[in-house]
Amino acid sequence: MISKVGVMKETLRFTHGVPGRLTRVVPRGGLYVPAIADYIPEGSIVGISHIFIHDSPEIFEDPKKFKPERWMGAKGKELDHWLLAFSKGSRDCIGKK
């Protein structure tokens, strides 16, 4: 049985509310990003569109398929970190809840 929460999360993954990149400032100590094998110094301004994350096959198996069941169980709980439809952190949407 597919849960309503799974359908809702998968729908949010497919929607693209913010059309551009959301910028962030690299925290103290800098940031090492293995995917680009490079070090980004602290204070740098970086950004990525959530579309690239939501459509990433490394994060979401078969990202172009609508699969609400991907959000079930322990593996689904781990995917919550990557659901960025409302952003995260200090710029998280205040109307999210």
Long-range contacts of range 57-61, CB-CB < 8 Å, 24 or more positions apart? 60/13
64 falls in which pLDDT band (50, 70, 90)?
A: very high
Q: Which residue ranges make up each domain of the chain?
A: 4-85
pLDDT tens digit sequence for 3-55: 899 999 999 999 877 667 778 889 999 998 877 768 999 999 988 788 888 99
Percentage above 90 pLDDT, the chain = 49
Half-sphere exposure of 46 (CA within 13 A, CB side): 15
Per-residue confidence (pLDDT) for residue 93, from 0 to 100: 73
